[in-house]
């Protein structure tokens, strides 16, 4: 989870492959009207995100054996909705500075998300640091390093 440009899709794919789990791209479940808004640089509202979060919660619940979901989950209330759908859900927070996120989003090219929305993502973000089941990582670390760290977090060694 995290703002646009933090690397959710890349890390999610790497973790899903390493863990042998299905990958669900949260962006694939945005409504056409939400995609249109974002492509025009109009930030989504809580009302816009409500149905999307419900769908994502359903996706999580449909995979009781585990799944990797990429999702911005910017507000604690959004994360709580997802936790309600999948008790024990854990979040990897890809923390990134605004300038780096802006640069990454601008370099995407064909993605529907307008680079002008990065500021609104940072304005909306409620850091999950301190919430249960959250791992904070530096989004600028090498992808293999991030994946190994997440996998190690998912499978802590048993105490001896």
Structural tokens at position 32: 């056409």
> Over pLDDT 70: what percentage of the chain?
93
Q: Is pTM beyond 0.75 here?
A: yes
Domain ranges of the chain: 8-154
Structural tokens at position 59: 């996706």
User: What is the Cα–Cα distance from 2 to 131, expressed in whole angstroms?
Assistant: 14
CATH number of 8-154: 3.40.50.300
Structural tokens at position 69: 């979901």
What pLDDT digit, counting tens, does each position of 85-139 carry?
999 999 999 999 999 998 888 887 655 566 678 888 999 999 999 999 999 999 9
User: What is the Cα–Cα distance from 99 to 134, expressed in whole angstroms?
Assistant: 24
Cα pseudo-dihedral 57, 140, 146, 67, rounded to 10: 10
Q: Is 70 helix (H, G, I), strand (E, B) or coil?
A: strand
Tell me what pLDDT residue 107 has.
82
């Amino acid at each position: 989870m995290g703002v646009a440009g933090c690397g959710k899709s890349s890390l999610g794919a790497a973790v899903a492959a390493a863990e042998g789990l299905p990958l669900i791209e949260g962006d694939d479940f945005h409504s056409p009207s939400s995609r249109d808004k974002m492509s025009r640089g109009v930030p989504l509202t809580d009302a816009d995100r409500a149905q999307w979060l419900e769908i994502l919660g359903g996706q999580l619940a449909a995979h009781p054996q585990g799944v990797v979901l990429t999702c911005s989950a910017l507000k604690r209330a959004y994360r709580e909705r997802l936790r309600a759908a999948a008790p024990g859900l854990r979040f990897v927070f890809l923390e990134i500075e605004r300038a780096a996120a802006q640069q990454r989003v601008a370099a995407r090219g064909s993605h529907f998300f307008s680079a002008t929305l990065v500021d609104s993502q940072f304005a909306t973000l409620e850091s999950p640091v301190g919430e249960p089941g959250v791992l904070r990582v530096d989004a600028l670390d090498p992808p293999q390093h991030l994946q190994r760290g997440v996998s190690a977090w998912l499978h802590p060694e048993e105490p001896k």
